[in-house]
């Protein structure tokens, strides 16, 4: 069994949009109140508050706040689950020694989704039936497969989407003996071990002029005005367009790789570390992490093998095993030992594939 998410555009009426917005507002208020309760309990009494304790208070809260009757009960419970998950993630980061990042409050403007974790929703024909909201028109641009487990309703740049999480049987592709190593980069988005290069589309850089104009329009508007809110929404949609272009590109390339290769070898990259230096804009524009995630879940669903290899030295090693140091600006590989002269990224992709074919202990021992 595999888990997938189907994302569809929904078209609520004006009254339904008002209900959706108010649901987000109440969820945001509950989220912040639950967060405040946990902080105060620890600061004042050194007591830890858990999900069960906060969930038990919901009947009293709903009795005191009659307007919460307009929100489905499990949606409110899921809001408390989000607070609980946020604190668990915080303590996990502390335990690992990472930068902690204490849980923060969420403003109404930035609280953009709520979840029906089990019940309260169904898809009937061209409509999505939501408890406390009603029948909302939905565009099923592709068939919904598997058993639906949860529904998340999301607001994005003034538009609404339904994200249905499903469980379905893995759809294995016919077996193939073809294998490939992939070296992701900035000059070319990806170079394969067979020499194929995938161009880097650079969607963000292409859209920078449009994004600057949209940002300046926001800056010129008076804070709190209707015109500023409209300008913010236009800026959000410009960024969403870039995100959608990049995601579409990643989906197409990852699908092509999974369809054609039985084993896919990639570097185990610390993308977060790479995205914090001088090349941060280019790394974020390429979206390597999102791309590798898409390759991973598509490979698992298709019964393909995905191997992550040690990234250390893949661009500084020749196929003969000789250490061949190069600066970032040197794009050509020239080995003084065996005489190999080739594209730097092509050689790196071949090294990545070769590491996937030998025991990891051997790679670690040689580096």
- Please give the chain's pLDDT, 367 residues, in tens: 788 999 999 999 999 999 999 999 999 999 999 999 999 999 998 899 999 999 999 999 999 999 999 999 999 999 999 999 999 999 999 999 988 889 999 999 899 999 999 899 999 999 999 999 999 999 999 999 999 999 999 999 999 999 999 998 888 999 999 999 999 999 999 999 999 999 999 999 999 999 999 999 999 999 989 999 999 999 999 999 999 999 999 999 999 999 999 999 999 988 887 877 778 899 999 999 999 999 999 999 999 999 999 988 888 889 898 888 888 888 898 888 888 888 899 999 999 999 987 544 433 333 3
Q: Which of 267, 268, 285, 293 is catalytic?
A: 267
Q: How far apart (Å, rounded) are the C-alpha atoms in residues 129 and 256?
A: 36
- Give the domain ranges of the chain: 2-168, 179-202+239-366
3-state secondary structure 67-86: HHHHCCHHHHHHHHHHHHHH
The CA distances from residue 208 to 125, 213, 235, 236, in Å, are 40, 9, 12, 13
Q: How far apart (Å, rounded) are the C-alpha atoms in residues 344 and 351?
A: 11
pLDDT recorded at residue 171: 87
Query: What DSSP state is assigned to residue 222?
Result: P
Q: Which of 78, 84, 285, 345 is catalytic?
A: 345
Is 47 annotated in the active site?
Answer: no
Non-local CB neighbours of 176 within 8 Å, separated by 6+ positions: 260, 261, 262
The two three-digit tokens of residue 266, written as one number: 């990639």
Question: Which is nearest to 301 in space by CA: 118, 145, 122?
Answer: 145
Tell me how many helices (H) and strands (E) the chain has: 11, 14
Q: Would you say 300 and 264 are in contact if contact means Cβ atoms under 8 Å apart?
A: no
Q: How far apart (Å, rounded) are the C-alpha atoms in residues 341 and 129?
A: 62
Pairing mode, strands 134-139 and 127-130: antiparallel
Non-local CB neighbours of 301 within 8 Å, separated by 6+ positions: 2, 4, 170, 171
Helices (H), the chain: 14-45, 51-55, 58-64, 73-96, 203-220, 226-260, 271-274, 280-286, 288-302, 344-356, 360-366
Is 183 annotated in the active site?
Answer: yes
Question: Which is nearest to 288 in space by CA: 249, 331, 244?
Answer: 249
179-202+239-366: CATH, from 2.30.29, 3.40.50, 3.10.450, 3.30.420: 3.30.420
Give residue for tokens 């989220």: 31
193 has which bridge partners?
A: none
Q: Which of 78, 84, 183, 285 is catalytic?
A: 183
pLDDT recorded at residue 359: 47
Q: Among positive and negative, which fits the CA dihedral 113, 116, 121, 122? A: positive
User: Reduced to 3 states, what is the DSSP secondary structure of residue 303?
Assistant: coil
Is 66 annotated in the active site?
Answer: no
Question: Which is nearest to 171 in space by CA: 1, 307, 295?
Answer: 1
Give residue for tokens 């993630």: 89
């Amino acid at each position: 069994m595999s888990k997938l998410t189907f994302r569809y555009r929904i078209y609520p009426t004006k009254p339904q949009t008002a209900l959706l917005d108010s649901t987000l507002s109440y969820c945001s208020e509950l989220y912040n109140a639950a967060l405040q309760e946990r902080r105060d309990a620890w600061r004042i009494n050194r007591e830890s508050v858990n999900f069960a304790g906060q969930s038990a208070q919901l009947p009293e809260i709903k009795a005191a706040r009659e307007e919460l009757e307009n929100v489905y009960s499990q949606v409110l419970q899921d809001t408390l689950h989000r607070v609980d998950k946020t604190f668990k993630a915080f303590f996990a980061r502390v335990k690992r020694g990472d930068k902690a990042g204490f849980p923060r409050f969420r403003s109404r403007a930035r609280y953009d989704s709520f979840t029906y974790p089990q019940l309260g929703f169904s898809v009937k024909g061209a409509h999505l039936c939501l408890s406390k909201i009603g029948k909302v028109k939905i565009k099923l641009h592709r068939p919904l497969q598997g058993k639906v487990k949860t529904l998340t309703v999301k607001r994005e740049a003034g538009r609404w989407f339904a994200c249905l999480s499903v469980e379905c049987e893995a759809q294995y592709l016919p077996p193939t003996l073809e294998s490939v190593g992939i070296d992701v980069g900035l000059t070319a988005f990806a170079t394969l071990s067979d020499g194929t290069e995938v161009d880097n589309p650079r969607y963000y850089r292409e859209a920078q002029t449009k994004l600057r104009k949209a940002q300046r329009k926001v800056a010129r508007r008076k804070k709190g005005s209707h015109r500023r809110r409209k300008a913010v929404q236009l800026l959000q949609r410009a960024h969403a367009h870039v995100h959608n272009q990049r995601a579409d590109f990643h989906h197409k390339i990852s699908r092509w790789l999974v369809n054609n290769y039985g084993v896919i070898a990639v570097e185990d990259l610390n993308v977060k570390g790479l995205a914090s230096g001088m090349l941060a804009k280019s790394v974020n524009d390429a979206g390597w992490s999102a791309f590798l995630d898409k390759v991973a879940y598509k490979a698992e669903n298709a019964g393909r093998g995905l191997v992550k290899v040690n990234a250390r030295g893949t661009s500084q090693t020749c196929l003969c095993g000789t250490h061949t140091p190069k600066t970032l600006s040197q794009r050509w590989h020239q080995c003084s030992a065996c005489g190999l002269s080739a594209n730097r990224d092509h050689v790196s992709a071949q090294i990545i594939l070769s590491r996937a074919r030998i025991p990891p202990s051997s790679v670690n021992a040689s580096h």
